[in-house]
Each structure stands twice: as structure tokens, then as C-alpha cells.
Amino acid sequence: MAQGPQSSTHGCWHEPVTHGHDQIDDTAEAAPSRYRQLSANWQLCLLVFTILGVGLAVNQFFNLGFFIGLTILDNNYQYALISLFVPIVFIMFPATAKASRTTVPLYDWALFILTLVVTVFVMSKSKEILDKGWEFGAPDYMVYASYVFWLLMLEVTRRAGGTSLFIVVAIVSFYPLIADKMPGPISGLSSTLADTAVYHILSNESVLGIPMRALANLVIGFLIFGVALQKTGGGTFFINLAFALLGHVRGGPAKVAIFASGLMGSMSGSVISNVLTTGAMTIPAMKRSGFRPSYAAGVEACASTGGVLMPPIMGATAFIMAVFLEIPYATIAVAAIIPSILYFFALFVQIDSYAARKKMPGMPRSELPRIGETMREGWHFIAVFVLLIVMLIYLKREVLAPFYATLLLIIINQVTSSQKWGWAELKGFILATGTLLAEITALLAGVGLIVGALSVTGMAGTFVNDLVFLAGGNTIVLLFMGALTSFIMGIGMTVTAAYIFLAIVLAPALIQGGLDPLASHLFIFYWGMVSYITPPVALGAYTAATIANANPIRTGFEAMRLGSIIYFVPFFFVLDPAFILKGSVSHIAMTFVFAIVGITLVSSALQGYLIFIGDLCTRALWQWPLRLGILAAGLLLATPGGGIIPWSNFDKTIAAGILLVLCLTPIMFQQWRLSADDATS
């Protein structure tokens, strides 16, 4: 039988807490070897580039004035970050799956040097680019430099983001060359190859567009904080805390996965890395408690997916959303509170119902960490989170908050932890930070090419008008079209890339249809995440299936059922902004309560067990129509009425009540008969 993450003794639980950074490193290295293992010289190179890049960002954010007498323009700063981080991609990421993971071949040396030379050269011309308007007419030598820069951005996008993202970015980035020859909805203004290259590289709308601005001016600090949290043992602390709090209740290991993966996903912003780190501990524990392998993997996939949707960090995409909407990031984090609560509550109810129906007890307390000892060893992680939230929401210092939180975390770790960092741990932290920043910079610079192509062709506005026209002015139809488009785009691209594309071509159509701007952007964000748990792709579910030794397709469908509320929640908050905390307190509270009741019914119907009622599967012939009726009643209660919905909240409540009476009466009667039969026997 598969062993849980705790071994057989109580004491083994606490070793991961004190050696958390080592454990997470091992997990990362056991994951698919996307990265090269660098030699000492290349590690030194990465260390220097990372320190320079982070130092440049700190100087910019805190206005320290390191560069006396030198004004750093915004495009100069962004080019500098690209110069420091993008060349590293050729060293960290092998060109192909068969390329060496231990040595850097000559062609990657050459690409590293070429990228460094070209990006530094363009950076040196940043003032002239602005003063002379070279984005609309550059000298020949800058045109040639732009060609090389463009091709290099495509290659780093392929290495960091994969073939699917590369194909999408490449096609769209070259689209301006043929835009005038395309059919109506996707036609636009055409450009020459030279003009397109110059616009991509020298303008502030493409490589230096919204994605890079978000990274340069906001995201960097949160990425560093996430690495520091993991390297000081934060990830393992949250997993241990989850086991201490929930491991003993029915279905405990699965509920632990929800808690731990939600917190870890919020920090990392990556579904796949979250599955690989927390899933390595939670999935074996779930299997040991009696959960089917495919079910255990589905739980982890859903929990990791939901983590990216959960405040306070939510990954890089939420920060880019803040730049798009020109609002503080804290506003987005606050708006995401109720939707994320509803998502995780639905997961919790489904797992509890499944465990109740299968009579699955929790884990023995003797095999679990003690809450008191866990908190004594990791209280500072919670303290740092509190500081981060206070600075984000109350002090409105979202740019500086992660730097203060990171500094506090490292100081406390050095003062109180039994595993203080030495030079080796500090080096590991800097290397991990540099690797992450290189990967994210390459991805966002590459995705910026999509933004530039849509901008220079003017296709975004045309596409928006065509969407509104096709929907016939019907907001519901427009929402379903938007959901389908977001799902499809989420299949072939990263969440961030899909969101950026849809924020340009789809969100304006939803806003033009009368929907709240923030709700519209969250809608496409949520639906871009759906592909991680929905077959035929379901990358999150398939990754979890490999850990659980489960059938990937079956795991995908299990994840789809467990995470089914994600398909409905986006419709809730675009139909009623109360779900994103807009409106009166009484209306928000009422909406939330009805949603909780409705989601309880939906989740219970999906798993076949309803609290206070019991097993819904006592009669094979009756159970499916009755469970479908309960599910429909739940959706009626949770979905906000009025507005574009023809039924009022009162009408829906009455209809839901009638459905529940019709469905629960025969179930309760059957259970009464079974109880009577048991009593007589």
C-alpha cells in the first residue's frame, strides 16, 4: 500500500519543517528536468546577473539613487531587465528534450552572448528611441537589430513556455504581415516586415507592453517573496499545519490537500509546480486513507488550480490584470475573496460527502503533527503573511510590500530557526530567484508580441465589435461565447498568455455588453484556468495522475466533477457584482448565504450524500433523477436573479424549494423504511 507523507512515526513529520528548503529543492529536482544543472562558472554568472537585476529593481522601487546623475527611463529599465534575465534562458533551458542537462553546448553559448549583446545595444539606444520616435521609423541598423531581437524572443518563448505557446506567439506576432488579406472578423491593418519588427521591439506596446510593465513595476517582488517562502520551509509548514488541523477528520488527507495546495498555489501561481510539490505528499496520504488513485489525483489537481485563484498573491496574472484595469492590485485580491471561498467550499463539501458515503475515517492522530509544535516552529510564516496583507490592503504599499515581507521572513529565519541559512542556502535562494525571474521575463516578453500584433493591426477593436454583433446584443450569449473562447485559448497557452490575449479582444466586448469591468476580467481569468482540470487537455489533472499512478483520462473527469463549481462561479460574479464585494453589505451577505446553500446542494448531489439527510444513492433507479433535481435546486439558489436573468431571487427560491421537496421526500421516506427494517431485524 502506498505510504503517506509522514512515515510511520510522529517525529518524522517535523523533519520536513526544519529542513523544508531542502525538501522542496529535492522535489523540484525530482520533477521533469526542464533545467540544466549548471557548472560552478555558470552558477556564478547566474548569481551576478540575478543580484544586478534584483538590485536594479530595488533601486527603481525604493528610489535609492544608486545611479547618481543618470535618469533611468521606463523603457531603459525594462530593456535592462531583459538584458539581465533573458540570456539566462539559453543556459538554463536545453534546446530540445534530448539536449544535455549537464553541459552548455557551443550554440547556447553563442545564443547567450548574442542575446546579451543585442539587448544591451538596444537598451543603450532607449533615449533615442523615445526622442526620435523610432517605433514608427527607425534607421536601418535598428531595423536589423529588431529582427534579431524578435527571433531571439520567439526562441526563449519556446524554451520557457513550450511548443504550444511558441506556435501561438509566432503566428500572431507575424500576423501584421498578412492582416489585410484575412477574412472580416480577423482582418486588420497590414505592416511591412521591417515596420512590424520595429514596432515589436522599439515601441511600448509589444515586448515592452503591458506584460513586461507588470513584471518590471509590480510582479518581481512577489516572485522573490514566493521563492523565499519556499526556501525557508514555508511550503512544508503549511502542509504540516494542514495535516495537524484536518488530518484526523473524515476524508482528512483530501481536506489537507485543499488547504495546503490552496496556500501553496497562491504563493507559486503555477498549477503544475503546485501539483508536483504538494501532491507528492498529499496524494500518497489520500491513497493510504482509501481514496481511489484517480480521485486523489483529481482532488490535488482541483486544489492546485484553485490556489492560483486565491488571494493574497494569485500569481503573475492578477498583477497584469491590475495594470490592464489601472487599479490597485489589492482591489483585485479583495474582489477574488468570495469566488475563491465558494470554489474551495465546494471542494470541501464534495470531499466530505464522498468520505461520509464511503465511511472513510481520518488518519490516526498519532501519525499527525501536533498543532502546538507545528505553530511554534512556523509561526513566523503566518506573521509574514499578516504583514503582507496589512501592507497590501491597509497601507496601499503593494509595490514595496513583498520586499519588506521577504526581508522580515529571512531575518526571522536567521534569528529563530534551527536551520539558519549559510552561504550554500543563500546561494540556492539567489539561484532559484534568478531561474524563476529568467523564465517569467522570457514568457512575458514573448507574450508581449501578441499584444503588439493586436495593437499594430487594430484587430482588437474589430474583433470586439464582431463578437457583440454575433451575440445579437444578448449578454448571456456573449458570456457563453466568451467562456468557450477562454477555455479554448487556455488549452494552447499559459494562463497569463491566454488572459492577456482575451483581455484585449474579449473583455472589452463583455464590458461593452454592460458588465462590470473587473468582473469581466475575472471571468476570462477563471475560464482560462478551466482547461487545467477539463479533458481533453487537463494538464493539472494529468500531472497529478502521474504521481498517483492513475489513469489520466479518468483523473481528468474526476477533477472535472470535483471542480465543477469553477464553471458556474464566473457567471455568478458577472451577473451580480456582489460576488466581488460590490454593493451594500446586506445584499452581499444575502447573496453569499444563498450561494453557500446552493453550492452545498450542488456538491452533495454530485457526490451522492447530503448533510442532515444522508446517502442519496439508496435506490439505483431513483438516484439519478433525484440527484439531478437537487443539483438544479442548488444552481437556482446560487445563481443571482434579476437583471439579465428573467427570474427574480424570490421566484428562484420558490422553484428551488419545490424541487427540493419533490426530490428529498422519497429519499427520506426510503431511508425511514430502511431504518425501520433494520430495527425490526
Could you write out the DSSP letters of every residue in 294-352? HHHHHHHHHHHHHHTTSTTT-HHHHHHHHHHHTS-HHHHHHHTHHHHHHHHHHHHHHHH
What is the CB-side half-sphere exposure of residue 413 using CA atoms within 13 A?
28
Q: Please report which helix (H) or strand (E) contains residue 161, including its range.
A: helix 140-161
Cell 460590490 -> residue: 582
Contacts of 376 (CB under 8 A, 6+ apart): none
What is the CB-side half-sphere exposure of residue 261 using CA atoms within 13 A?
36
Q: What is the pLDDT of residue 269?
A: 66
Q: DSSP letter for 568, please.
A: T
Give the closest residue to 135 by CA, choosing from 80, 86, 75. Answer: 75
Gap between the Cα atoms of 552 and 544, Å rounded: 8
Gap between the Cα atoms of 225 and 207, Å rounded: 25
Gap between the Cα atoms of 120 and 201, Å rounded: 13
Gap between the Cα atoms of 580 and 340, Å rounded: 10
pLDDT tens-digit map of 132-191? 888 888 899 999 999 999 999 999 999 988 888 899 899 999 999 998 888 777 788 889
The answer to whether the CB of 282 falls within 8 A of the CB of 260 is: yes
- Intra-chain end-to-end CA distance of the chain, in Å: 37
Q: What is the pLDDT of residue 19?
A: 31
Distances (CA, A) of 290 to 253, 256, 666: 10, 15, 31
Q: What is the 3-state secondary structure (H, E, C) of 11-72?
A: HHHHHHHHCHHHHHHHHHHHCCCCCCCCCHHHHHHHHHHHHHHHHHHHHHHHCCCCCCCCCC
Do strands 614-615 and 609-610 pair parallel, antiparallel, or not at all (unpaired)?
antiparallel
pLDDT tens-digit map of 572-628? 999 999 999 998 999 999 999 999 999 999 999 999 888 888 888 766 667 788 889
Query: 585-607 and 649-680 helices cross at what angle (nearest 10)?
Result: 40
pLDDT tens-digit map of 301-311? 999 888 888 88
C-alpha cell at 166: 511558441
Distances (CA, A) of 543 to 184, 269, 272, 332, 550: 40, 16, 7, 29, 10
Contacts of 223 (CB under 8 A, 6+ apart): 316, 433, 436, 437, 440
What is residue 610's three-state secondary structure? strand
Distances (CA, A) of 211 to 171, 220, 497, 503, 604: 19, 12, 9, 12, 41
Gap between the Cα atoms of 117 and 111, Å rounded: 10
Burial class (CB in 10 A: 0-12, 13-18, 19+), 415: exposed
Gap between the Cα atoms of 514 and 337, Å rounded: 23
Q: What is the pLDDT of residue 620?
A: 62
What's the gap between Cα 286 and its chain centre? 24
Q: What is the pLDDT of residue 561?
A: 92
The dihedrals phi and psi of 362, each to the nearest 5 degrees, come to -80, -175
C-alpha cell at 189: 491593418
C-alpha cell at 404: 519588506
Q: What is the pLDDT of residue 13?
A: 34
Q: What is the pLDDT of residue 125?
A: 92
Is the pTM value of this prediction over 0.85? no
Domain parsing of the chain, residue ranges: 11-20+213-447, 28-171+188-211, 585-681
pLDDT beneath 70: ranges in the chain: 1-33, 67-72, 267-269, 461, 492, 618-621, 674, 676-681
Q: What is the pLDDT of residue 26?
A: 33
